[in-house]
């Protein structure tokens, strides 16, 4: 019982009842006072119970995050992220006059929601100034709990695990231009003790005169903090984002599989990236050609980077060199070779300034190219949040 409250209430009751006590005997007055005290005690006890009940409700809300259940409210597991990349470039192309441009190269807005211990959802919106429209780049749901089981299941629009496309450079590697594949797929994954594997199925953009979920892919890899290696297979590389736009579907009756091999290694300030992506067979003449025959496009990228914790202006700085080459990839407007050098400086934890110089060599004229060289200098300001 709240004694200070009761004492105040008693004093108020006595002062209010003073006129009524005047005509009573002492015994009657004591009985009246005891009755009032019992009444006040019951009211105080009731109020204390209400307060205790409210305290219990507040404690439960703090524990559950307001969800009314266990494990926290779902909104506590929501994280938002974003990326803005602004680029200025100057190009001396294979043919024609020099060009320069200033563009918002990339805007990404992502939402990741850990709905409960077993279910999460991801959404990534993408806008590129050269493309113009906002697109849903990724949207998928994953069921899995790594603390309980190494297996997981993912369904939705994903970037298929075919290639990893890591780079130190500002521009995308040729391996990404050839192999990146975004599809609505169902995927079963496994990850334990450094081993990762995945198997997935989807209905490709090139339907081959039917409309079924009959495309698939497999991926397996091993990695730790310093080393990663992987091997990927996809049943139809023609469904990659770039190839699907240039392959003549009317002349494309047989699927062409694809293989990607990739490795990364780091030792202190040094990091090395290597990747190779290729079709495993020739496309049909008329579907995708090179030099008058069915093309078998391929690309590889190798890079080496060196990071200084106290670099430019005392900021973390990375310098890198890279060499890339393609084979029979003229149809997707890739050069035959590229040598590139890049440097990036971390302005803070969220912002980076980078500069890249790329020297390209086109395919020979006899193969349909120009046989010329081109140079591009690109400066980029990237901010993540």
The residues with which 100 forms a beta bridge, in sequence order, are 90
Using CA atoms, how far residue 160 sits from 131, 183, 186, 240, in Å, is 22, 7, 10, 9
Whether 102 contacts 110, CB under 8 Å = no
Q: Looking at residue 254, what is its pLDDT?
A: 86
User: Tell me: the pLDDT tens digits for 289-321?
Assistant: 999 999 999 999 999 999 999 999 999 999 999
Distance from C-alpha of 379 to C-alpha of 169, rounded to nearest angstrom = 11
Report CA torsion sign: 138, 140, 146, 152.
negative
Give the alpha-carbon dihedral of 13, 15, 19, 22, to 10 degrees. Answer: 90
Domain ranges of the chain: 3-64, 74-384
CA–CA gap between residue 161 and residue 180 (Å, rounded): 9
- What is the fold of 74-384? Porin (2.40.160)
Q: Which pLDDT does position 359 carry in this prediction?
A: 98
Q: Residue 69: what pLDDT?
A: 43
Terminal C-alpha separation, the chain: 53
Residues lower than pLDDT 50 in the chain = 1, 3, 5-7, 9-14, 16-18, 66-71
Which of 226, 230, 227, 154 lies closest to 196 in space, CA to CA?
230
Residue 40 makes CB contacts below 8 A (sequence gap 6+) with 6, 9, 10, 13
* DSSP SS3 for 310: coil
**What would the pLDDT profile of 23-71 be if each residue is shown by its tens digit?**
667 676 677 777 777 776 777 777 777 777 777 777 766 665 544 444 4
Which residues are CB-neighbours of 51 under 8 A, at least 6 positions away? none
pLDDT of residue 35: 73
- Predicted confidence at residue 14, as pLDDT, reads 46
Asked whether the beta carbons of 196 and 190 are under 8 A apart, the reply is yes
| Collapsed DSSP state (helix, strand, coil) of residue 97 | coil
Helical spans, DSSP H, in the chain: 3-21, 26-64, 174-179, 243-246
């Amino acid at each position: 019982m709240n004694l200070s409250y009761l004492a105040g209430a008693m004093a108020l009751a006595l002062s209010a009842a003073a006129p009524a006590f005047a005509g009573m005997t002492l015994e009657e007055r004591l009985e009246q006072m005891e009755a009032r005290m019992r009444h006040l005690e019951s009211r105080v006890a009731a109020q204390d119970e209400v307060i205790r009940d409210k305290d219990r409700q507040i404690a439960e809300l703090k524990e559950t995050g307001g969800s009314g259940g266990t494990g926290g409210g779902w909104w506590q597991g929501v994280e938002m992220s974003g990326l803005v990349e602004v680029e200025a470039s100057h190009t001396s192309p294979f043919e024609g006059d020099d060009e320069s441009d200033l563009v918002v190269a990339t805007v990404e807005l992502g939402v990741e929601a850990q709905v409960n211990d077993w279910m999460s959802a991801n959404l990534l919106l993408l806008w590129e100034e050269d493309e113009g429209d906002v697109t849903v780049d990724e949207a998928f749901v994953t069921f899995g709990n790594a603390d309980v089981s190494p297996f997981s299941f993912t369904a939705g629009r994903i970037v298929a695990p075919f290639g990893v496309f890591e780079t130190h450079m500002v521009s995308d590697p040729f391996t990404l231009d050839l192999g990146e594949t975004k599809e609505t797929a169902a995927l079963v994954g496994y990850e334990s003790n450094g081993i990762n594997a995945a198997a997935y199925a989807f209905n490709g953009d090139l339907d081959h005169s039917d409309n079924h979920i009959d495309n698939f892919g497999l991926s397996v890899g091993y990695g730790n903090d310093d080393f990663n290696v992987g091997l990927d297979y996809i049943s139809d590389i023609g469904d990659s984002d770039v190839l699907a736009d240039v392959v003549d579907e009317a002349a494309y009756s047989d699927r062409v599989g694809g293989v990607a091999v990739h490795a990364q290694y780091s030792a202190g300030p040094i990091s090395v990236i290597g990747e190779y992506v290729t079709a495993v067979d020739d496309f049909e003449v008329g579907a995708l050609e090179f030099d008058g025959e069915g093309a078998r496009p391929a690309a590889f990228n190798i890079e080496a980077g060196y990071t200084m914790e106290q670099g430019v202006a005392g900021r973390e700085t990375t310098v890198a060199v890279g060499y890339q080459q393609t084979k029979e990839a003229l149809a997707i407007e890739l050069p035959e070779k590229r040598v590139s050098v890049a440097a990036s400086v971390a302005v803070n934890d969220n912002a980076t300034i980078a500069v890249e110089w790329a020297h390209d060599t086109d395919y020979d004229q006899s193969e349909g190219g120009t046989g010329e060289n081109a140079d591009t200098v690109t400066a980029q300001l990237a901010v993540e949040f």
